[in-house]
Amino acid sequence: MVSEATAEAMLQVPVALLGAVFTAPGGATTALAVARVLGRNYPLVLLLVLIGALFWPARTETVEDLGTPPNGLRPGDTYH
């Protein structure tokens, strides 16, 4: 399970990398060269994206998020 801070960092890393590439000297030509290489290897890039999606953290639901079950009892309630 990935923590919330890790998931947030995973979202911000691509934007930070793009910012670093474009601000570096010769960054635009480097970005175009990388885009060309990724375009040539599109099936491999798509496969890596799909594998990365398998490891994406799922949203966990708590008992409070699920609401009251149809029988009206919560897990902490007793049946007698």
Number of domains in the chain: 1
Tell me the pLDDT tens digit for each residue of 20-44: 877 888 877 877 888 898 899 999 9
The pTM score is: 0.43
Residue 45: inside a domain: yes
Residue 72 lies in a domain: no
Rounded to an integer, what distance in angstroms lies between the CA atom of residue 11 and that of residue 17? 11
Residue 22 domain-assigned (yes or no): yes
Q: Is residue 64 part of a domain?
A: no
Q: Is residue 74 part of a domain?
A: no
The predicted-structure confidence for 1-25, as pLDDT tens digits, reads as follows 567 878 787 788 888 888 887 788 8
Q: How far apart are the first and last CA of the chain?
A: 37
Residues of the domain holding 46: 4-55
- Residue 16 lies inside a defined structural domain of this protein: yes
